[in-house]
């Protein structure tokens, strides 16, 4: 998890959105400051048929300042909105990381399952290989026919293939984990063993209603939708500012020079120097329904945000319920699987003992072998399905991941 937070490219890209939001907030705060500009203009005029000076040079210089005294609250609204956008960008990054966390958790548990499945398949392959060797000796002594030996040999070959298939599945899952961790093609990745206790499998989960209530508090995506609703509310107030007048102050200093009358540049600049100050009040009377439309659109956005919140709450409820159903199913399968595995193991042991002395039909041997393999795999699946369901419920409750 720590490596993914630091190296995942999607997370890095998402964090750049926060930088954009901070830049927009800085710009919004700067709107309270006055604007200040310097302008200068230079020109030459040629009048070839003039009786006086045919070439005239003119220049002007000015420093102008302006400050908005009142804009109906748009500046304050923009600052509040941009502050909320900063929080939303941070929350979006956290939401993305939460998604990566759950994907990592799922893949990691799949890896644990795949690795143990390799051991189960190897055990089955070793047993069937020993049976094939024994069957070959029985065939050579004439106690079983060649077709019966071929069936046992085929089972041993199939079990060896199952080992290869399990190893390929493990490699595929490990590749997915490397992709999430942004590890290079030559990077080595070893999965540390995790001791999955029976208590983790069979212990009951906390009350589902309690888990749902906690999930509502910890879900980052839901918090992001609440921030979006907050932004929509701010946008409504900002849109309403279009009904109010704008008041602004202007002030400036200017001077200029004109060569036609003649005279010293400095003298002309001194005599032409002037100062100005002004107050502008702009009262909206008719704006082609722009303000009304902006308010209406902002209200619709708020309604959409509220529906998004409700939809996410329902999605959380379904997710919590699904994991509880998965947990109950896995626990039931695990309990039944323990009994089935014990019966299958006893039956397999008895059949093998009889097979060693040549008193078992081949079909009975293969059936016992297949039943044992099926029981072991079903128990293994139930074990890790229960572990995944438990860890997902824990994550929904407190937004933390631990395999302990």
Q: What is the pLDDT of residue 262?
A: 63
Residue 45 has pLDDT above 90, yes or no: no
Nearest-5° angle of CA 161, CA 162, CA 168? 90
3-state secondary structure of 275: strand
The whole-model pTM stands at 0.85
Q: Where are the domains of the chain?
A: 2-33+71-244+284-398
Q: What is the pLDDT of residue 264?
A: 84
Query: Which pLDDT band holds residue 27 (cuts at 50, 70, 90)?
Result: very high
> Average pLDDT of 280-301?
93
Q: What is the pLDDT of residue 261?
A: 66
Q: What average pLDDT does the structure give for the chain? A: 92
Query: Over the stretch 246-263, which tens digit does the pLDDT of each residue have?
Result: 999 999 999 998 887 666
How far is residue 208's CA from residue 326's CA, in Å, rounded to a whole number? 13
Query: Which pLDDT band holds residue 360 (cuts at 50, 70, 90)?
Result: low
Nearest-5° angle of CA 297, CA 299, CA 305? 105
Q: What is the pLDDT of residue 156?
A: 94
Query: Over the stretch 371-397, which tens digit does the pLDDT of each residue have?
Result: 999 999 999 999 999 999 999 999 999
Query: Over the stretch 211-230, which tens digit does the pLDDT of each residue have?
Result: 999 999 999 999 999 999 99
Residue 13 has pLDDT above 70, yes or no: yes
3-state secondary structure of 252: strand
Kindly state the percentage of the chain with pLDDT values over 90: 72
* Choices 3.50.50.60, 2.40.30.20, 3.20.20.70, 1.20.1600.10: CATH for 2-33+71-244+284-398: 1.20.1600.10
Q: Write 26-32 long-range contacts (CB < 8 A, 24+).
A: 28/75, 28/78, 28/79, 28/81, 28/82, 29/79, 31/68, 31/75, 31/78, 31/79, 32/75
> Average pLDDT of 274-286?
94
Query: Over the stretch 149-202, which tens digit does the pLDDT of each residue have?
Result: 899 999 999 999 999 999 999 999 999 999 888 888 888 888 888 888 888 899
Residue 52 has pLDDT above 80, yes or no: no
Question: Do residues 388 and 106 lie in contact, with contact meaning Cβ atoms separated by under 8 Å?
Answer: yes
Closest Cα to residue 111, out of 379, 403, 394?
403
Residue 126 has pLDDT above 80, yes or no: yes
């Amino acid at each position: 998890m720590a490596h993914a937070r630091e190296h995942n490219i999607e997370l890095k890209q998402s964090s750049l959105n926060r930088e954009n939001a901070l830049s927009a907030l800085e710009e919004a705060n700067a709107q309270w400051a006055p604007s200040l500009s310097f302008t200068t203009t230079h020109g030459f005029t040629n009048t070839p048929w003039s009786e006086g000076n045919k070439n005239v040079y003119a220049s002007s210089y000015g420093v102008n300042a302006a400050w908005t005294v009142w804009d109906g609250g748009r500046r304050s609204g923009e600052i509040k909105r941009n502050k909320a956008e900063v929080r939303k960008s941070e929350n979006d990054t956290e939401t993305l990381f939460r998604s990566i966390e759950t994907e990592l958790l799922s893949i990691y548990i799949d890896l644990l399952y795949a690795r143990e499945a390799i051991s189960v398949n190897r055990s089955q392959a070793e047993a069937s290989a020993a049976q094939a060797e024994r069957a070959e000796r029985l065939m050579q002594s004439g106690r079983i026919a060649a077709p019966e030996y071929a069936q046992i040999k085929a089972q041993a070959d199939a079990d060896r293939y199952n080992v290869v298939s399990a190893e390929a599945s493990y490699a595929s899952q490990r590749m997915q984990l490397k992709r999430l961790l942004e590890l290079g093609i030559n990077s080595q990745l070893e999965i540390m063993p995790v001791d999955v206790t029976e208590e983790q499998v069979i212990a009951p989960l906390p009350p589902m209603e309690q888990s749902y209530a906690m999930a509502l508090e910890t879900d980052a995506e839901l918090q992001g939708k609440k921030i979006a609703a907050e932004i929509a509310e701010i946008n409504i107030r900002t849109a309403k500012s279009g009904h109010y007048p704008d008041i602004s102050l202007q002030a400036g200093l200017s001077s200029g020079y004109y060569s036609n009358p003649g005279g010293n540049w400095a003298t002309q600049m001194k005599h032409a120097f002037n100062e100005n100050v002004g107050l502008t009040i702009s009262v909206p009377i008719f704006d082609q329904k722009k303000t009304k439309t902006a308010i209406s659109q902002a209200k619709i956005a708020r309604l959409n945000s509220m529906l998004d919140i409700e939809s996410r709450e329902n999605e959380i409820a379904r997710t919590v319920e699904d994991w509880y159903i998965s947990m109950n199913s896995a626990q039931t399968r695990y309990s039944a699987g323990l009994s089935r595995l014990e019966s299958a193991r006893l039956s397999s042991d008895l059949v093998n003992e009889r097979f060693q002395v040549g008193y078992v039909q081949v079909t009975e041997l293969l059936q016992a072998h297949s039943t044992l393999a099926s029981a072991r795999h079903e128990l293994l699946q139930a074990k890790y399905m229960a572990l995944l369901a438990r860890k997902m419920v824990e994550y929904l409750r407190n937004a933390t991941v631990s395999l302990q």
